[in-house]
Amino acid sequence: MLLSRRLMLGLAIAGTMAGALAFPALAGEGPTEIDLFFPVPVDGKLARDMGTLIKEFNETHPEVKATAVYTGSYDDTLIKTRAAIKAGKPPSAVIMSANFLLDMQIENELTNLDSLIAADGTTKEKFLGQFFPALQGNAVINRSVYGVPFHNSTPLLYINADKAKEAGLDPTKPPQTWAELTDWAKKLTRREGDKVTQWGIAIPCAYDYCGWMMETLTMSNGGRYYNEEFGGEVYYDTPSMLGALSWWNDLIAKHKVHPPGATPGPAVSTSFISGNAAMMMLSTGSLTYVRDNAKFNYKVAFIPRNVRNAVPIGGASLIIPAGLEADKQKAAWTLIKWMTSPEKSAWWSRATGYFAPNMAAYKTPDMVDFLNKNPDAKTAVEQLDVAKPWFATYKTVPVRKNLEDEVMLVLNGKKQPKDALAAAQKAADETLKPYNAETSLKLP
C-alpha cells in the first residue's frame, strides 16, 4: 500500500517535469548526454556558478555532455528525483541533501558506488579518505558508499561587528554560551517605545532549515536528535530538545530579542544584511552572499553551547540514482569525480561559501591565498572537529516536518514547547511505524 501511494505521487509529479529531462544519445553517435539535478538552498548566485562549472566540464570532457537542471529546494529536488526514477527517466547525477541518502537507500533508489570505486583501482577507504571524516556518516550506509560529499555546511553565528562595538561588546570575543548569547542579544536589541528597530538575534525556521536549527540547538544542549545507527527512532520528546526549544522560544516571548514567529532563511539573511538584526544563525553556505553584500564589518563564530560544542553537518552529496544505463552511469561517475576533485572543490567553496569537503582543496595555491584574505571561511572547517552526521531516518522529510510543524506553532505563540514536542514525537512515531514493523518489530 505504501509503495502504491509513493508510485502514484511520483507519476503525478513526473507529468509536470516534461521537457526538463534530456534524452540520451545513442551509443557511438556522440557524447553521452547526462543530466545533473541541482538545488539552490541558500542565498546568492549559486545557479550562475553551477552554469560556469558545467560549462568547463563539457569543454574539458568531449566524451560527455552534461546539462544542469535546476530543481528548487532540497525537498523539491528529492520529489523530482523520485518522480523521474518512477517514470523510468532518472537523472544521471543529483546534488542531493546529504541526509536524504538513507531514506533513498531504504527505498532502493540509489546506485551503490562501491563497484565504480573498485573499477578505478582504489578502495573505499582510500576514496573516502579524501574527505573530512565528519562527512562520511551521511555518505556510507551499511559499509557501502552511496554518496560523494560535494558542498557541505555547518551552521554559524554571524555577528555585525560594527553594531557589537556600538553596544560596548568585543566582536573578537564572540559569545561562547547560550547565556552569553542571550546577554549579547539583549544589549544589541534597540527599541523606540514599543517598536523594535533592531533585533539582537534571528534564527531561521522554515521547512528544512527549522529542523536543522533544532538539531543544532539540541546537540548544543547535550542531546541527540535521532538514532544514528537505526532509521526508525527520533528523540523529540526529551529534556535536551525541550531545553533547546524553550531557550529559542524564550528569546522571542521572554527576552523579546528575536523577531516573533517562524522566519524563513532568506528573511533572516535580509534582516542581517539590512542591519535589522545584529546577529543571526545561518549556514556557512550563505557566507559568500554576506561577504558580497554586507556594508559593515562582520564576524563569524562557532555556534554557542549550553552543554557542549556540537553541530550537525548540512549541505549535499552527489548521488547516482538507480536505474541508469551503464554508459550514463560511467559518465555520471566521471562528472562526480571531477566536481569533487581538490581544484573544483576549492573553486566551488570560494564561489558559494560552502566549505570544501575534499581536504586537499585547502592545500591548493588559490585556496591558500583566498583563506589568507578571507579568514572567515576557516570557521566552518574548524567547527568540523565537533560536527556530527545530519539527521537521517526512514521518510526523513515527513519525520522532520512532524517536528517542524510543532516548532512553528511554538514560535508563533500558539503552543507551549512541552506540548509541541509530545505531539511531534507522537506524529513521528506514527510515520516511522511501517519501517519499525518491517525491521525492529519483525520477528523470525
Tell me the DSSP string of 287-298. Answer: HHHHHHH-SS-E
The per-residue pLDDT for 196 is: 96
- Name which of 385, 377, 383 is nearest 349 in CA terms: 377
pLDDT in tens, the chain (444 residues): 333 333 333 333 333 333 333 334 444 578 999 999 999 876 668 888 999 999 999 999 999 999 999 999 999 999 999 999 999 999 999 999 999 999 999 999 999 999 999 999 999 999 999 999 999 989 999 999 999 999 889 999 999 999 999 999 999 999 999 999 999 999 999 999 989 999 999 999 999 999 999 999 999 999 999 999 999 999 999 999 999 999 999 999 999 999 999 999 999 999 999 999 999 999 998 898 999 999 999 999 999 999 999 999 999 999 999 999 999 999 999 999 999 999 999 999 999 888 999 999 999 999 999 999 999 999 999 999 999 999 999 999 999 999 999 999 999 999 999 999 999 999 999 999 999 999 988 777
How far is the CA of 362 from the CAs of 355, 384, 406, in angstroms? Answer: 10, 14, 41
CA distance 25 to 32: 6
The per-residue pLDDT for 293 is: 95
3-state SS assignment for residue 429: helix
Dump pLDDT digits (tens) for 327-344: 999 999 999 999 999 999
DSSP string, 348-394: HHHHHSPBPSBGGGGGSHHHHHHHHH-GGGGHHHHGGGGEE-----T
Give, as one character, the DSSP assignment of residue 238. Answer: S
Q: Are 181 and 201 in contact (CB under 8 A)?
A: yes
Q: Are strands 64-70 and 32-38 parallel, antiparallel or unpaired?
A: parallel
Strands (E), 272-319: 279-283, 298-301, 311-312, 314-319
Q: Are 147 and 130 in contact (CB under 8 A)?
A: no
The per-residue pLDDT for 285 is: 87
Domains of the chain: 32-153+314-388 (3.40.190.10), 155-311+395-440 (3.40.190.10)
Q: How many CB atoms lie within 10 A of CB 369?
A: 11
Dump pLDDT digits (tens) for 268-277: 999 999 999 9
The per-residue pLDDT for 194 is: 87
Q: Are strands 140-141 and 144-145 parallel, antiparallel or unpaired?
A: antiparallel
The per-residue pLDDT for 22 is: 37
Ramachandran assignment for 437, one of left (phi > 0), alpha (psi -120 to 50 degrees), beta (any other):
alpha
The per-residue pLDDT for 47 is: 85
And the C-alpha cell for 17?
517535469
Q: Are 285 and 42 in contact (CB under 8 A)?
A: yes
The per-residue pLDDT for 43 is: 65
193, burial (CB in 10 Å: exposed 0-12, middle 13-18, buried 19+): exposed
The per-residue pLDDT for 337 is: 98
And the C-alpha cell for 152?
557541505
| Sheet-wide strand order for 93-97 | 64-70, 32-38, 93-97, 314-319, 148-153
The per-residue pLDDT for 42 is: 63
